[in-house]
Amino acid sequence: MTPLLEGRGLTKLFGRLVAVDHVDLAIEPGEIVGLIGPNGAGKSTLINLITGLDAATDGSLEFAGRDLAGLGPPTIARLGIARTFQVAQPFRNMTVRQNVAVPALFRAFPAADVRTALRDADTLLDAVGLGPKRDLPARALTTPDLRRLELAKALALHPRLMLLDEVMAGLTPAEVDRAMVLLRQVNAEGIALLVIEHVLRAVMGLCRRVIVLHHGRKIAEGSPAQVTQDAAVIEAYLGPRALRSTPLGPAPRNESGRGP
């Protein structure tokens, strides 16, 4: 099977800082892939490269066999790549319902008029549990609700791939559980997910395959069990001394559900 998304040698320089350094990645249709790494590892920059918000300094990207080089964010979105932002980016003074109607109106397929888009928005808002708040302005939402809204907006694009940038940050353990159920449902519809997450329990529970970035470089890739026992990964997260004393077992340390 050809991958849905394939990046080769992706590199991004900001001045002399190497934010992303020759990263190869492939995501199969319908797969859930985790992307982890310490703060500043280049995870968000990688997502910016894929969605066209930043232009790669070097490397190639193909989505469903199409070269993404030189395409802007709107085109890439309409090809079927949706994303959420690490810091939620709502349209603050529009209602929750209008927020979700926007991507429904501007997706490539299936095309929707305003009435259809609003109806689609209602369906999605019920699915993510925001139905009762549809007529509130987005600025009135709480953090967990804003994350649900981000998710509903991304879904309204009818994407084939969703890039989720820390959708669970700041959620309580119970909310993390609910979010995981929701993401599994999304994935069951055939949408591939790339999940950036500091909540390791969520990454381990959702993903069969995890990519680990450190200082912009891919230092490990494999099953959750493999990467958590990888020497380079333990060193990246806990420092060189940790290697000798505390191996990071497959059971996640981060039980609280909050980011490190």
* Shortest spacing between CB 12 and another protein, in angstroms: 17
Q: Which helix (H) or strand (E) holds 212?
A: strand 209-214
* Shortest spacing between CB 228 and another protein, in angstroms: 32
Q: Do residues 209 and 223 lie in contact, with contact meaning Cβ atoms separated by under 8 Å?
A: yes
| Nearer CB in complex with another protein: 98/228 | 98
Q: What is the DSSP string of 119-156?
A: HHHHHHHHHHT-GGGTTSBGGG--HHHHHHHHHHHHHH
Residues that bind another protein (CB under 8 A): 51, 53, 72-78, 82-83, 85, 89-94, 98, 101-103, 105-108, 113-114, 117, 153, 156-157
* Shortest spacing between CB 117 and another protein, in angstroms: 8
Nearest by Cα to 210 from 66, 201, 50: 201
| Nearer CB in complex with another protein: 136/242 | 136
Nearest by Cα to 206 from 50, 35, 53: 35
* Shortest spacing between CB 105 and another protein, in angstroms: 5
| Nearer CB in complex with another protein: 18/64 | 64
| Nearer CB in complex with another protein: 19/117 | 117
> Who's near 123: CB < 8 A, 6+ residues apart?
none
| Nearer CB in complex with another protein: 101/171 | 101
What is the rounded end-to-end Cα distance, in angstroms, of the chain?
37
| Nearer CB in complex with another protein: 53/243 | 53
| Nearer CB in complex with another protein: 53/242 | 53
> Who's near 7: CB < 8 A, 6+ residues apart?
23, 24, 25, 26, 49, 50, 59, 60, 61, 62
* Shortest spacing between CB 44 and another protein, in angstroms: 13
* Shortest spacing between CB 81 and another protein, in angstroms: 9
* Shortest spacing between CB 201 and another protein, in angstroms: 28
Residue 22 burial (CB < 10 Å; 0-12/13-18/19+)?
A: middle
How far apart are alpha carbons 197 and 74 in whole angstroms?
25
CA 4 to chain centre: 15
Beta bridge partners of 218: 213
